Amino acid sequence: RLAMGRLQDETQLKKLFDVLAERYSDRDGGYVRIIKAGYRASDSAQLAIIEFVDRDEDAKGQDSGPVMTEEDEFDDA
């Protein structure tokens, strides 16, 4: 349940172990690509785009889980 504590979403946990684990089982490493995306204007925090290599192009634009709203951001502060 350690992974569930980090992800905090049962749907994403299931996808991680049922779909993605199978997809990358034969790969020795290099699962993600990190692309620097500049700095956020409000606080100059570094931004990055993180994506899985060999990702499913057909899934692009589909629901990928919960989306943080502006209200959620203020709740965490």
Task: Return d(Cα 24, Cα 57) in angstroms, integer.
Answer: 15
Percent of the chain with pLDDT over 90: 19
Per the domain annotation, does 75 fall within a domain?
no
Per the domain annotation, does 46 fall within a domain?
yes
Per the domain annotation, does 51 fall within a domain?
yes
Looking at the DSSP bridge assignments, the partners of residue 52 are: 32
Percent of the chain with pLDDT over 70: 62
Q: How many domains does the chain have?
A: 1
- Give the per-residue pLDDT at 72: 56
Per the domain annotation, does 66 fall within a domain?
no
Q: pLDDT by residue (tens digit) across 28-48?
A: 888 888 999 999 999 999 999
C-alpha distances out from residue 42 to 31, 39, 45, 46, 74, Å: 31, 9, 8, 11, 14
Per the domain annotation, does 68 fall within a domain?
no
Per the domain annotation, does 73 fall within a domain?
no
Per the domain annotation, does 12 fall within a domain?
no
Q: Which domain holds residue 39?
A: 28-55
Q: How confident is the model over 47-75, as a mean pLDDT?
A: 69
pLDDT confidence bin for 61, thresholds 50/70/90: low
Per the domain annotation, does 1 fall within a domain?
no
